[in-house]
Chains A and B, each alone.
Chain A
């Protein structure tokens, strides 16, 4: 598969802050690629360099075979950008928002009209086409922003936290539409800190933290590699329990323990859990073996503390 985005030694620095610290990654044509990380990881800075709105400090970054330092306009013409913050034209109607946006790409008005009819249909906004944007619900605005990003038939759709702040219904609707777009072969790049979203949508992803890439792979791959298929979770009631739990598990060399205030987690990448479960049987229901998720990988890699 061809690489549609290729970053080598990519660095972003502003005002003395090193936001992206020499990362390498490639996005393949047609895949959905995720950038995961806590706030301040460098996700948005990376996205802003790819979308040519923020200059690269050092390193190489090619998008669609073009260099972001020299071919900005041409690259931007091939991208559909869904920003983190809503920035629709509030005074204009839904249809006018699309028409005005299409004009920025020099798309002839008749073509823009035909496309926007199609896109509004896809995003279930046809009935709202003459509604002023200010009167739309949050979920509808979000859908319209994604719809707007498709008006130039982009090769890459770039979404910066596309479902932050949406209720579950609206989020699932956006996910369905994004999956549908991927089926049509559009390359998707998204940042998120919803692990469920990443697991749901991404073929491959990288976990970023403090400007570095900590891990890369498919969601399933990352889970197996970093936390194994299952996680043992011990809910702790008292300090005594805490010590007991650690004592029961500490001697097993093949377990990796994580000690958090109210719980102990045990990870293993190739574990027969039966003997371990016998050791912790005294904890009763407080000991639970469950499927591991991307969230476990994420917390394992980026830590449980707040960086802000």
Chain B
């Protein structure tokens, strides 16, 4: 059995919960980007010298547009999904209705992607607020980051969901944090150009999915798209398809006994 339009029902369920708790859910994605841009861009940025004319705060923006949506998608399809599955019994309740496991998992990943895109929107708004003074955004192409963030939100959501499908306990998410999220956070090219790393680490960075997202975001923010970005996009699409299928297959194995 495959995914149907009914996965939308799971997405709607998650939306309703967030809307009910809107105040608590809204504070971090709205305030976070403003603080990060101020602290890293304006505070730390004055000590950072890049090749060329670019200020650090400008360099940072495409990275932030990738990093924080990744975090939100992963939090939701990781820790959040585990809580809904194992502590709240939501999945059991839903599969007793006409929805099947694939609908549930697809809906969850779409929701993770939505949270990612929602975070991207707030970073973009914050970046636009800083743009008159610091020139963060150079091109109207930046608007394409929003639909793109749905795609990479799906990628990171599906990665986390794949982990959830085998996670034995809540504490085991420390592994997801240590071996997946943290390396992507620090080595995905968000905070510095990866060519400044020693050669072995630079090679490694190419295998970090976030690197490809940051590359494309950089093109969109600076308005300088290149053919090589198609390669980045191909990698992201392929990884998304792979992890999405893996999450569905592995979750069916876990839940249908």
Contacts and interface: CB of A to CB of B under 8 A. Distances in A.
Interface string A92-105: 11001000110111
A14 B145 CA distance: 47
Contacts of A229: none
Contacts of B100: 72-73
A90 B9 CA distance: 17
Contacts of A73: 98, 100
Contacts of A76: 96-98
Interface residues of B, number: 23
Given A51-B96, A55-B256, A73-B100, A85 B20 contact: no
B6 A104 contact: yes
A14 B256 CA distance: 11
Nearest to A90: B88
Interface residues of A, number: 30
B196 interface: no
Contacts of B93: 83, 87-89, 101
A289 to B, nearest CB: 46
Contacts of A93: 20
Given A87-B88, A87-B90, A92 B97 contact: no
Contacts of A77: 97-98
B99 A85 contact: no
B17 interface: yes
Interface string B91-120: 011111111100000000000000000000
A276 B100 CA distance: 60
A132 to B, nearest CB: 8
Interface in A75-121: 76-77, 79, 81, 83, 85-93, 96, 100-101, 103-106
Contact of B256 (A54, A74, A81): A54
A100 B256 contact: no
A287 to B, nearest CB: 49
A81 B96 contact: yes
A286 interface: no
B256 A92 contact: no
A100 B97 contact: no
A88 B92 CA distance: 10
A55 B92 CA distance: 15
Given A83-B96, A104-B97, A89 B17 contact: yes
Given A72-B1, A87-B89, A92-B17, A103 B96 contact: no
Contacts of A88: 93
28 contacts: A14-B257, A53-B92, A53-B95, A54-B257, A72-B1, A74-B98, A76-B98, A77-B98, A81-B96, A83-B92, A83-B93, A85-B89, A85-B92, A87-B88, A87-B90, A87-B92, A89-B17, A89-B93, A90-B88, A92-B17, A96-B16, A96-B20, A101-B93, A104-B94, A104-B98, A105-B97, A106-B98, A152-B97
Interface of B: 1, 6, 9, 12-13, 16-17, 20-21, 88-90, 92-100, 256-257
Given A81-B96, A106-B98, 20 more contacts: A51-B96, A53-B96, A54-B257, A55-B256, A72-B1, A72-B100, A73-B98, A74-B98, A76-B97, A77-B98, A83-B96, A88-B93, A89-B93, A91-B21, A100-B12, A101-B93, A104-B97, A104-B99, A105-B98, A152-B97
Interface of A: 14, 51, 53-55, 72-74, 76-77, 79, 81, 83, 85-93, 96, 100-101, 103-106, 152
